[in-house]
C-alpha cells in the first residue's frame, strides 16, 4: 500500500537534535514540510538543508513548520545544525520507523553497492493532518523553492 494525496499522515513522536520531543499531532492547524534525507554533512543533504534555511522566513510567513528527518543521532544533528545555522529541527529517526511509515526507507544503490537507507523524499502535511503534497524525486538545491512555488499556485489535477 502506498501513501497518496489526501491520506492521513502517519503520526510520529521523535526527538530533535536538542532533545525536544516533536509530535506531529501537536502541529495540527499548521502546514508541515516533512523532508527525509540520508545523512547529515553530506553534499546533497547539506545543499537541501541550506536551501530550507535560506527560504525559512518564507515558510514561517506562510505559518509552515519545516522538519528534517534522518537516521542520524542527536549529537550529529546538533553539529550539523550549528555548522550551517539551521533554524528548524532535525529529527532523530534512529530506527527508521518514521521513514518506513512514510515509505522513505528502503533498498538503495550507490557505486555498485546495495544497502538500506533513507530515500530523499518530502511530504507536505495540511493543517488537518492529511498529506497535501508528495515529492518522491527531489533536487536538493532547488527543493525548498519548488515547494514554496507549488503551494503558492494550487495546481489542478
> What was the pLDDT predicted at 10?
97
CB 28 within 8 A of CB 50: no
Q: How far apart are CA 73 and CA 6, in angstroms?
A: 31
Domains of the chain: 13-145 (3.40.30.10)
Q: Is the pLDDT of residue 155 over 90?
A: no
- Of the residues 27, 45, 91, 131, which is catalytic? 45
CB 91 within 8 A of CB 118: no
Phi-psi region of 113 (alpha: psi -120 to 50; beta: other; left: phi over 0): beta
> What was the pLDDT predicted at 19?
94
Q: Is the pLDDT of residue 26 over 90?
A: yes
Q: What is the pLDDT of residues 41-93, one digit of tens each?
A: 988 899 999 999 999 999 999 999 999 999 999 999 999 999 999 999 999 99
Q: Is 92 a known active-site residue?
A: no
Q: How far apart are CA 16 and CA 67, in angstroms?
A: 9
> What was the pLDDT predicted at 152?
82
Q: How far apart are CA 65 and CA 60, in angstroms?
A: 7
> What was the pLDDT predicted at 43?
87
Query: Which among 13, 143, 105 is positioned nearest to 133, based on CA atoms?
Result: 143
The kind and range of the H/E element at 27 are none
Q: Where are the alpha helices (DSSP H) in 73-128?
A: 74-84, 97-101
Amino acid at each position: 500500500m502506498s501513501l497518496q494525496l489526501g491520506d492521513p499522515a502517519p503520526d510520529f513522536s521523535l526527538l530533535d537534535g536538542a532533545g525536544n520531543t516533536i509530535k506531529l499531532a501537536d502541529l495540527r492547524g499548521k502546514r508541515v514540510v516533512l523532508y527525509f534525507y540520508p545523512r547529515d554533512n553530506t553534499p546533497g543533504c547539506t545543499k537541501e538543508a541550506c536551501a530550507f534555511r535560506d527560504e525559512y522566513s518564507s515558510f514561517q510567513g506562510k505559518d509552515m513548520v519545516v522538519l528534517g528527518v534522518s537516521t542520524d543521532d542527536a549529537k550529529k544533528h546538533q553539529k550539523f545544525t550549528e555548522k550551517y545555522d539551521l533554524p528548524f529541527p532535525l529529527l532523530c529517526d534512529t530506527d527508521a520507523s518514521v521513514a518506513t511509515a512514510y515509505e522513505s526507507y528502503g533498498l538503495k544503490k550507490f557505486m555498485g553497492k546495495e544497502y538500506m537507507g533513507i530515500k530523499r523524499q518530502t511530504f507536505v502535511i495540511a493543517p488537518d493532518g492529511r498529506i497535501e503534497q508528495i515529492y518522491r524525486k527531489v533536487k536538493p538545491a532547488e527543493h525548498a523553492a519548488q515547494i514554496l512555488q507549488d503551494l503558492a499556485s494550487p495546481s489542478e489535477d
